[in-house]
Copies of this chain bind each other. A is one copy, B any other.
Amino acid sequence: MTPDAINRLVAQLAKLPGIGEKTAQRLAFHVLRSSPEYARSLAAALVDVVDKVRLCSRCFSLHDGAAEALCGFCTDPRRDERLVCVVEGIADELAVERTREFRGRYHVLHGVLSPLEGIGPEQLRIKELLQRLGDGVVTEVVVATNPDVEGEATALYLTRLLKPLGVKVSRLAQGLPMGGDLEFADQATLARAFATRRDL
């Protein structure tokens, strides 16, 4: 008895990650209750994103410039081109950017080594990273993959690949999170914090 238009919207919304049938229905009703302008703006934004956004041909960040153009990170002269931060995905890149600590360039792998899911080096942007390092401009690569099993494996793989090129390879520090509590830290984190303790 629900109008077809609603069923179609619910079906489309339910394809989003973390959105089940019930939530999709709730969202659809919200759209209906909102002003028609909202639905139209959201629809326009969706179409815009797939029409305009592409990957930078050097670092594989997102940008909405011309097809062959480089992204804002790669073209910003104030960013240090000798320093490259390798991240798994765009969300990680944005997280690093929010710290305002890093003023180098990026390289987005768009994934992480995961034999279980059949993702090997050739599915990631690793070949392109090696090509990028070919001209000798980059002196340090910060491997900022996640500190989990797959991220660690990817970091190890990259280190073995990059070290012979004479480039410095570093990894983000691991330890207790700021504002954290020893009592509630997991064993692996606490053990790592001990093993890599700093002299004061």
Contacts and interface: CB of A to CB of B under 8 A. Distances in A.
Contacts of A47: 39-40, 43
Nearest to A33: B110
A91 B29 contact: yes
Among A43, A44, A71, A94, chain B packs the most CB atoms within 10 A around the CB of A43
Contacts of A91: 25-26, 29
Contacts of A2: 62, 94
B64 A25 contact: no
A29 B111 CA distance: 13
Nearest to A15: B38
B30 A62 contact: no
A49 B1 contact: no
Interface string A68-84: 00011100000000000
A46 interface: yes
Secondary structure class of chain A's binding surface, majority of residues: helix
A48 B9 contact: yes
Contacts of A90: 29
A177 interface: no
Interface in A13-72: 13, 15-19, 23, 25-32, 34, 36, 38-53, 61-64, 71-72
A6 to B, nearest CB: 6
A132 interface: no
Nearest to A11: B45
A152 to B, nearest CB: 23
A3 B52 contact: yes
Contact of A4 (B23, B28, B61, B64): B64
Given A13-B42, A16-B31, A18-B23, 11 more contacts: A3-B52, A5-B45, A6-B62, A9-B49, A17-B26, A18-B26, A19-B27, A32-B53, A36-B50, A43-B47, A46-B46
Question: 5 shortest A-B CB distances, which residue pairs?
Answer: A3-B64, A43-B43, A36-B50, A9-B45, A12-B42
